[in-house]
Structure 1
């Protein structure tokens, strides 16, 4: 499977990115990771912030590859799944992110207080690893999109 094939299926649309967009998205990842470490807020919100950082990292890889998801049911899942095609991420990581997505939805819409300390720590760790991975990947595969960071 390829991103091009996903576009044929209607899951993605081709759209070029820019250094400014990538810089803005990297800023969102940094902010969300910082927020995930604020102990004065609930573990639920910290978990949501960590998941947001991870999801935005996946979106950065997709955008840098020249695509965006179509706004439709399951677009976050497609963003997560696209990591296999962009960063060549391990299926285990993708499965973890899908579990995190379900947990995030449950804490947002169903009930408060369902995030354990271990789940929070794992989400932060995964988000940090993705942040590092996306930075290295951008430097290697799309350095032209990092010009805004060199100003």
Structure 2
């Protein structure tokens, strides 16, 4: 089986060795992700918010460990790595506090054709089939928020 090695960019030393997935392994991982999302989407928003709050707490509690990993894997200075971890914790806090309002039903003007965002799943009849003539209804598919950092003027 093909493997890939993570290398510390500062030292050139191997950090870890990972097996690459074959097509069957990728399909299995995608099926697990789909099943996980099917469960996650039924979790009440309040429970999701509570989990995000806990995640922010864990990120802060283990910040040095996570920052160390970032330094080894990406070669960032430790101060920047700590900033990455804190940014993630802040985003968890923000989405925990504001996520419910973002998920509330709302009428939105305009939209995008479905074909702009989704491919059809004709080979998977149990999956949603999208019609390009339909418009997108904003629907959260993940708990991964987009970075909304401050950019220079």
TM over 0.5, shorter chain:
no
TM score, norm. by length of structure 2: 0.31
TM score, norm. by length of structure 1: 0.31
**Highest relative contact order (Cα 8 Å, sep 6+), 1 or 2?**
1
